[in-house]
């Protein structure tokens, strides 16, 4: 379809309109095919799906369209509660992500929280671009703060791509730390011994996930020196 994309060349309004209709209808065609296939292979699938959700995982990932969480982990609908934003940030002033964490932990009882970044992240690169990015400025400032916290390590990396990749990893680690600062996670872990927080990074070059081996208990202990909200 991309070869006939009129948006990439001069086109008439009629061509653009037809293209938009085709790309819109394609999703419904795919949905009908998916639903029919699921019903044929597993007649009870939608009955179970409609009964409610009890996911084991909360996934906080980047909005990048190339990283479908369920597909790269082999999960089915209902197995992961998913939140995505630019550069997979967990900001305490973002009521969206804070509400997601609270609901996932207190009401769904997730056992694992995964922060998944990816190498070559456009948000991370944009954050380190010395230019005014308008509305994105306050959002990307969180990544610049990560750089500031790890400035000595990052400045010692001469290769630019390697430096950005390391910043991606450090950003994931800092977002894991931000999750551990929340009352919902601290109180649930004190009571239930879950959830555990994990930091992962996805690589486009091979499609594999890298586990950053976050030491959850050590990070929790260090965080609670200042951010203890267990009472």
Q: What is the dihedral of CA 103, 104, 107, 112, to 10 degrees?
A: -150
Of the listed 32, 66, 107, 148, which one is catalytic?
66
Residue 18 Ramachandran class (φ > 0 left, ψ -120 to 50 alpha, else beta):
alpha
66 catalytic? Reply is: yes
Give just the sign of the alpha carbon dihedral 128, 133, 136, 137: positive
176 is in an annotated binding site: no
Token pair for 14: 């009629």
Q: Is 132 a catalytic residue?
A: no
Catalytic residue among 83, 116, 118, 177: 118
Which one is catalytic: 62, 116, 177, 198?
Answer: 62
Is 62 known as a binding-site position? yes
CA distance 170 to 148: 11
Stated length of the chain? 231
List the catalytic residue out of 116, 121, 176, 198: 121
Beta bridge partners of 85: 62
Respond yes or no: is residue 3 known to be catalytic: no
Cα distance between residue 15 and residue 146, in whole Å = 46
- 198 marked ligand binding residue: no
116 labelled binding-site residue: no
Active site residue 121: yes
55 three-state secondary structure:
coil
What is the C-alpha separation between 65 and 50, in angstroms, rounded? 27
Q: Mind giving me the DSSP string for 172-218?
A: HHHHHHHHHTSHHHHHHHHHHS-PEEEEEEE-TTT--EEE----HHH
What values do phi and psi take at 84, rounded to 5?
-135, 145
Residues contributing to the annotated binding site for Zn(2+)? 62, 64, 118, 121
Q: What positions carry a catalytic annotation?
A: 62, 64, 66, 118, 121
């Amino acid at each position: 379809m991309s070869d006939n994309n009129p948006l990439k060349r001069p086109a008439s309004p009629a061509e653009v309109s037809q293209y938009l209709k085709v790309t819109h209808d394609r999703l419904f065609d795919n949905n009908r095919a998916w639903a029919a296939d699921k019903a044929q292979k597993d007649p009870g699938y939608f009955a179970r799906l409609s009964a409610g959700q009890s996911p084991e995982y909360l996934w906080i990932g980047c909005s990048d369209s190339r990283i479908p969480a369920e597909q790269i982990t082999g999960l089915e609908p209902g197995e992961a509660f998913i939140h995505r934003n630019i550069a997979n940030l967990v900001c305490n002033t973002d009521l969206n992500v804070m509400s997601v964490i609270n609901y996932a932990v207190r009401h769904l009882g997730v056992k694992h929280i995964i922060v998944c970044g990816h190498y070559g992240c456009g948000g991370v690169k944009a954050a380190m671009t010395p230019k005014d990015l308008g509305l994105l400025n306050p959002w990307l400032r969180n990544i610049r703060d990560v750089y500031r916290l790890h400035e000595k390590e990052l400045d010692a990396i001469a290769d630019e791509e390697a430096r950005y990749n390391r910043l991606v990893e450090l950003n994931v680690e800092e977002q894991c730390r931000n999750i551990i600062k929340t009352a919902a996670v601290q109180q649930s872990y004190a009571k239930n011994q879950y959830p555990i927080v994990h930091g992962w990074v996805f690589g486009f070059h091979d499609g594999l996930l890298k586990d950053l081996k976050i030491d959850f208990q050590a990070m929790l202990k260090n965080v609670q020196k200042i951010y203890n909200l267990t009472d």
